[in-house]
Chains A and B, each alone.
Chain A
Amino acid sequence: MISLARPAVNALGLLTLVALFVLAVLALGVVPPDAVQGDAQRLMYVHVPAAWLAYLAFFVTAVSSALYLWPRTRQPGWDLLAGSSAEIGVIFTGLTLVLGSLWGRPVWGAWWVWDARLVTTAVLFFLYLGYLALRRVPADPDVRARRAAIAALIAFVDVPIVHFSVNWWRTLHQEATVFNPDLDAQIEGSMAWTLLFAVVAFTLAYGYLMARRVQLARLEEGREERELDAAIAARVASGSERTDLEDRVPGEGTGKGNIGDPAVAGAGEHR
């Protein structure tokens, strides 16, 4: 299982924090506002990288799930990686929707429209939220991981649909600025560089969040093992207690011969 050393994770966290701070300075202070949209267009520097991160996270989930399903590479670690990445993906899909909504209100004049890009993105959110719920339906660990992996591969079909929805169908949402069909980016230089930096900063954030999530999963595993040990110990203890009780039953137990006793009769009614 992939796992980074603690100092490396902390260094990555610090680097992410610095990158996000620099991004905030660039996007809010350095880059000029858009000629048509004004300052509202600055939302692009968080909306686009959030969507990129969601794609990346779900791609990692899909690859990890495929590696789990492939018998030669089947390891519980791939299942854990798939689930962790999907959690981050769901959060950033939600963030993409919220930031897009905040951008749409001043520019389009609507928080939400029923166009193909927006609807398929909302579908993506619920697909992976459903996947995370499915992961938590208890079952044998291998059965659970296998059905989650199949669900993850089915859900991933929506990722290219979301991306190409603006090219395949007529949407209110604009086409991609950089990865449009003609690969002809109509964006001023400093804006393009800031957008690229934003994507790098968000990718660093993804790496950091994944590293922390895997650390957390390790701790959870340790706790589950300790709880299991404790439960076994408790059961062994109660088992020995039970034999003690059974030894004593003939003397105290079923109430035969004690019918006249009001305390015993009352207890019997409650049963």
Chain B
Amino acid sequence: MAVIPESAPAPARGRRWIYVVAALLCVGAIAFLLLGGLRGNIVYFRTVSEAVQENDTGRLRLAGEVVPGSISETDDGVTFEVTDGNETVAVVHRGDPPDLFAEGAPVVAEGEWDDGFAAFQSDRILINHGNEYSPPDVSSEDPSAEHPS
């Protein structure tokens, strides 16, 4: 007897908790993204000049342009120089650079200074491409136009 009135509210109550939990999980994901991921990354990179001036120990990201003619391959990676127009720094990178790594490419190198701040030891390179698009035949423009400012 009274089967329908007794059983009807039960699934509704179960569903309620599922959606409350789902909403709380979303709040948790947002907290994780902002507190765990974004903190310390709001300024995603330092320019070469800033990095040279600050001389911070510990991991940082260094942004600049690969100096043409400075790339040479090593056993476990590449070495090259990176510049922002004012300062130039030698980078020793371990690992494969990304496909678009080339002379004049705008790069972000992740790593830390070696002892004495002589060179930057990088283990990750990202390409910091600009917001300009053109077909190949009109591409011989000054690559410094893509430099992050």
Contact = CB atoms under 8 A, between A and B. Distances in A.
Contact of A174 (B34, B100, B129): B129
Given A176-B131, A188-B138, A245-B1, A138 B34 contact: no
Contacts of B19: 133-134, 136-137
A137 B97 CA distance: 49
A177 B132 contact: yes
- Of B16, B45, B126, chain A has the most CB atoms within 10 Å of the CB of B126
Interface residues on B, range: 35 or more
Nearest to B61: A172
Given A32-B135, A130-B27, A174-B131, A242 B2 contact: yes
Contacts of A180: 131
B100 A188 contact: no
A238 B1 contact: yes
B3 A238 contact: yes
B44 A238 contact: no
Given A33-B136, A187-B134, A119 B33 contact: yes
A114 B16 contact: no
Contacts of B136: 32-35
Contact of A169 (B43, B127, B139): B43
Contact of A113 (B5, B100, B126): B126
A233 B21 CA distance: 34
Given A37-B100, A123-B30, A123-B34, 5 more contacts: A107-B129, A126-B33, A133-B26, A186-B132, A191-B135
Interface of A: 32-37, 41, 44, 106-110, 113-116, 119-120, 122-123, 126-127, 129-130, 133-134, 136-138, 169-172, 174-177, 180, 186-188, 190-191, 231, 234-235, 238, 241-242, 245
Interface of B: 1-5, 8, 12, 15-16, 19-20, 22-23, 26-27, 29-30, 33-34, 37-38, 41-45, 97-101, 108, 125-139, 145, 148
